[in-house]
Amino acid sequence: MNVSLYQAAAAMNATARWQEMISDNLADSSVPGARKQDISFSAIEAGLPSGQLGLNGERFVMPAARPAINFTQGEINPTGVSTDFAIDGPGFFQVQMPDGQLTYTRDGELHVNAKGDLTTKRGYPIMGDSGPVQLDPNNPAPITVSSTGQISQGGESKGRIKVAEFKDPHSLIVLGNGYYAAKPGQKPDDTQTSMLRQGYIEAANSSPTMEMSSMITAMRMFESNQKVLQMQDDRMGRVITDLGGTGS
């Protein structure tokens, strides 16, 4: 078996996944509170049955790429808008999707719709302790939110914005556009350490400049392995041609 051929192909596959991940990071870099994905490369044993060694006692290994969400907090910037909220801590806003599914986001650029629902900019309701947060659309009184999420409108309590925290946020499923879903059976932690900051927005924790630099590196790695693959293919072609010519 031509191991180097498979290794080069596996490396091309890993770097292609890296480029896809970088593209996602670039797309989400303008989404408030979005979390970038990092990638780590490792080698897995392949090409031989379990426990069997190669001719020289070595084991064949193939490159593999493993993505992981980076939950480093982004920069928190003031906006002065009363419906902008930044989460200071590891928490997430709980959002109800059109199909009823609960998802999670750190995008605190919120709005109040015509019915008085506090929603994301995509129109998804923000959940409170007793369901979607409901305000009075006809009440011109200012909206105030405490650091613990207690929301009031003109001195009248409107409940509390629910902030969800997870013991293992890295196991969340990435949905894109700064949204995440919990795996089946995964529930938010009972404890809460996150604080809300009204009139602030958290930026994404990815840098377009760094992502473009990583994209160039990934493309060069892909091209290098592509050349190795082509070189091995040409070598195999010459061997077949030479062997075929021997018997004539």
List, for residues 34-70, the tens digit of each pLDDT value.
999 888 777 665 555 445 544 555 566 777 778 888 9
Q: How many CB atoms are closer than 10 A to CB 20?
A: 15
Per-residue pLDDT at 248 exceeds 50:
no
Q: What are residue 171's phi and psi, to 5 degrees?
A: -90, 0
In total, the chain counts a number of residues equal to 248
Per-residue pLDDT at 1 exceeds 90:
no
Residue 114 and residue 120: Cα distance in Å, rounded? 13
Burial string for 134-173 (b: 16+ CB within 10 Å, else e) reads: bbeeeeeeebebeeebbbbbeeeebbbbbbbbbeebeebe
**pLDDT per residue over 75-128, tens digit each?**
999 999 999 999 999 999 999 999 999 999 999 999 999 999 999 999 999 999
First to last CA, the chain: 26
Q: What confidence score (pLDDT) does residue 201 get?
A: 96
SS3 99: coil
Cα Rg, the chain, nearest whole Å: 26
SS3 57: coil
